[in-house]
Amino acid sequence: MTTVLIADDQPLQRFGFRMLLESQDDMTVLGEAANGAEAVRMTAELHPDVVLMDIRMPGLDGIEATRRIVATGDRTRVLILTTFDLDEYAYAGLRAGASGFLIKDAQPEELLSGIRSVATGDAVVAPSLTRRLLDAYAHRLPTTTPAPARSGTPLPDPRLASLTDREREILTVIGKGWTNTEIATRLHLAESTVKTHVGRILAKTGSRDRIQAVILAYDTRLVEPS
Amino acid sequence: MTTVLIADDQPLQRFGFRMLLESQDDMTVLGEAANGAEAVRMTAELHPDVVLMDIRMPGLDGIEATRRIVATGDRTRVLILTTFDLDEYAYAGLRAGASGFLIKDAQPEELLSGIRSVATGDAVVAPSLTRRLLDAYAHRLPTTTPAPARSGTPLPDPRLASLTDREREILTVIGKGWTNTEIATRLHLAESTVKTHVGRILAKTGSRDRIQAVILAYDTRLVEPS
DNA sequence: GCCACCGTAGTACCGGGGTACCACGGCCCT
DNA sequence: AGGGCCGTGGTACCCCGGTACTACGGTGGC
């Protein structure tokens, strides 16, 4: 029997997870936490096999909560779930000691098998992230830029060369039409920070406003037309 | 017995909704749609009492799907669910003919009672939005626009169907990143005229701002990436 | 040990974008 | 002759986006 703790700030999301897990006869939900602090506290108390951890939560976020749970040396494993497959989240999550990283977009079956994998000590990463993750770790030692992007992967456009990783992430979501407020909320940032990022992106890419940036994101294939 | 169709692009979210609804003995889930087009098709086929509609979906979004469902004259009611309580979404959604507008952040009970209200013909709006909506709509009546839209030119995408030729022209240059002032000077128009056009385009396409319109222009291939 | 860069965050300000509302002439119907 | 839609134009108003600063902790390079 695999015991699970659900940590997510959205009640409805928690409900969905709980129903899904309890429909399986080899899983039990020990409890639900609405924020990172609760997650840490309840883990120390209940010792679940797996914590299903959302990243974006008020107060203590999922990354920091993961870090603290792992630091206790408890055998509890953390499986991180996010809405967006932003690389930086994956890096941060795994760096914090998470055993897995899945996107909420996944099929229920994937989630279940992910939990089972993590419970038995395996690690699991969303397919869409695996390659990029490997790439990132491959050139973590040398600073040399990894081979000039094979066909199939988004090719690096010179216009984006001067952007930092973070800025490229922000540009991606600008390209998806997110407002500054949305970016701030979903990425757990202050709006002033978002504005700083956006301003630098516009300056570096020579775009006069975010609309030009959206167009740039499409033209560089940073964002694909749907 | 209230019959419900769930339209959401996230499988896990759909699962949560389904479980929640089917735990009630006065509700049945007729089916699940993963995008707007599916939602429209399945509604025409299954005639549910209520469609639980997410706004953000690939391809045809929730607003446009709502518009089409309402346009059929069917007695199916649409209840829109979003993650963020952005006024613009609410406006666009209600303008498209939705009977309700709730935030996913809500308690399960609120969602259930919302569905019941909508099914019996009542309208329901998230508490956090109600006042602002009333203020905004106190003086405006719903426009049931069938729109003749004779297709003199080959219409590339159904989402643009309700636009007039002129509006499609304006949308094209919006997609190229022109500002209102630029459009005015280059097209020999007054800026107020441009604003009128832009406003109508946003309303008809359910875009909350010109950035969404730019994205729409790319997605519908009205503007090609360079 | 120091410095440059990055990511974060703040304040203050202004202009453009978007909305609401109104108006009018020219069409094309019936 | 009227009715509808379309394209045009106007005014008033508010809010978000963008700019221009400043600032500070962490990390990595030299």
Residues of A numbered 33-92 whose beta carbons fall under 8 angstroms of chain B's beta carbons: which are they?
Answer: none
Q: A119 with A169, same domain?
A: no
Q: B164 with B113, same domain?
A: no
- Strands (E) in A17-161, as ranges, are 27-33, 50-54, 77-82, 100-103, 124-125
Chain B's closest residue to A222, CA to CA, is B225
Q: A18 with A112, same domain?
A: yes
Report if CB B179 to strand C is under 7 Å.
Answer: yes
Q: B122 with B164, same domain?
A: no
Q: B131 with B193, same domain?
A: no
How far apart, in whole angstroms, are the C-alpha atoms of residue A139 and residue A154? 17
Q: A26 with A120, same domain?
A: yes
Q: Which residues, listed in sequence order, are joined to residue B78 by a DSSP beta bridge?
A: B51
Residue B226 lies in a domain: no
**Nucleotide D28 C1' to residue A87 CA (A):** 21
Name the band, by pLDDT with cuts 50, 70 and 90, for residue A37: confident
Q: A96 with A193, same domain?
A: no
Q: How big is chain B, counted in residues?
A: 226
Q: Over 90: is that where the pLDDT of A153 sits?
A: no
- Calculate the average pLDDT of chain B: 76
Report if CB A164 to strand C is under 7 Å.
Answer: yes
DSSP-based three-state secondary structure for B198:
helix
Q: Over 90: is that where the pLDDT of A222 sits?
A: no
Q: What is the mean pLDDT of residues B62-70?
A: 82
Q: A15 with A53, same domain?
A: yes
Q: Which residues of B touch A20 (CB under 8 A)?
A: 12, 15-16, 19
DSSP-based three-state secondary structure for A50:
strand
The CATH number for A115's domain is 3.40.50.2300
Neighbours of A137 (CB within 10 A): 11
**Residue whose pair of structure tokens reads 């010179």 in the numeric block:** A158
Handedness of CA B31, B35, B37, B40 (dihedral sign): positive
pLDDT, one tens digit per residue, over A172-208 is 899 999 989 888 887 778 889 999 999 889 888 878 8
Q: Determine the straight-line distance between the first and last CA of chain B, rounded to whole angstroms.
A: 53
Contact B83, B103 (CB under 8 A): yes
Residue A138 lies in a domain: no
> Nearest protein residue to C19's C1' (by CA)?
B199
- Strands (E) in A83-154, as ranges, are 100-103, 124-125
| Residue A205: predicted pLDDT | 82
Q: A18 with A116, same domain?
A: yes
**Nucleotide C7 C1' to residue B208 CA (A):** 30
CB half-sphere exposure, A70, CA atoms < 13 A: 19
Top-confidence range, A79-88, A143-152, B188-197: B188-197
Looking at the complex, does the CB of residue A12 fall below 8 Å from at least one CB of chain B? yes
Q: Which of A155, A215, A221 to mutate to test the interface with B (most CBs of B within 10 A)?
A: A215
Chain B's closest residue to A11, CA to CA, is B107
**Nucleotide D5 C1' to residue B138 CA (A):** 25
Q: Which candidate, B67, B36, B60, B47, places its Cα nearest to that of B5?
A: B47
Contacts 24+ apart (CB under 8 A), B94-97: B94/B133, B94/B137, B94/B142, B95/B142, B95/B143, B95/B203, B95/B206, B96/B63, B96/B64, B96/B66, B96/B67, B96/B70, B96/B206, B97/B66, B97/B67, B97/B69, B97/B70, B97/B71, B97/B142, B97/B144
Q: A69 with A34, same domain?
A: yes
Q: Over 70: is that where the pLDDT of B34 sits?
A: yes
Report if CB A141 to strand C is under 7 Å.
Answer: no
Q: What is the mean pLDDT of residues B124-141?
A: 44
SS (H, E, C) B41-102: HHHHHHCCCEEEEECCCCCCCHHHHHHHHHHCCCCCEEEEEECCCCHHHHHHHHHCCCCEEE
Q: A213 with A168, same domain?
A: yes
- Would you state the structure tokens that stand for residue B58, as one six-digit string? 């690939």
Q: Which of B86, B105, B137 is the last residue of a domain?
A: B137
For B95, B125, B137, the CA distances from B131, given in Å and listed in that order, are 17, 10, 10
| Residue B27: predicted pLDDT | 94
Instruction: List CB contacts of B151: < 8 A, sequence separation 6 or more.
Output: none
The CATH number for A165's domain is 1.10.10.10
Q: What is the mean pLDDT of residues B40-51?
A: 91
Q: Over 70: is that where the pLDDT of A30 sits?
A: yes
Chain B's closest residue to A175, CA to CA, is B215
- Would you state the structure tokens that stand for residue B116, as one six-digit string? 């019941």
CA of B95: nucleotide with nearest C1': C19
Q: Which residues, listed in sequence order, are joined to residue B32 by a DSSP beta bridge?
A: B6
| Residue B52: predicted pLDDT | 93
Q: Which of B78, B106, B137 is the last residue of a domain?
A: B137
Query: Which nucleotides of strand D lie within 7 A of protein CB?
Result: 5-12, 16-23, 29
Neighbours of A112 (CB within 10 A): 18
Structural domains counted in chain A: 2
How far apart, in whole angstroms, are the C-alpha atoms of residue B87 and residue A97? 39
CA of B164: nucleotide with nearest C1': D6
Neighbours of A107 (CB within 10 A): 11
| Residue B35: predicted pLDDT | 83
Q: B55 with B14, same domain?
A: yes
Burial of A65 (0-12, 13-18, 19+ CB in 10 A): buried
Domain that holds residue B197: 158-219
Name the band, by pLDDT with cuts 50, 70 and 90, for residue A94: low
Residue B142 lies in a domain: no
Name the band, by pLDDT with cuts 50, 70 and 90, for residue A29: very high
| Residue B150: predicted pLDDT | 31
DSSP letters for B102-138? EETTS-HHHHHHHHHHHHTT--EE-HHHHHHHHHHHT
Q: Which residues of A touch B126 (CB under 8 A)?
A: none
Name the band, by pLDDT with cuts 50, 70 and 90, for residue B32: very high
DSSP-based three-state secondary structure for B220:
coil
Q: Which of B137, B171, B190 is the last residue of a domain?
A: B137
Q: Over 70: is that where the pLDDT of B132 sits?
A: no
Name the band, by pLDDT with cuts 50, 70 and 90, for residue B4: very high
| Residue A4: predicted pLDDT | 95
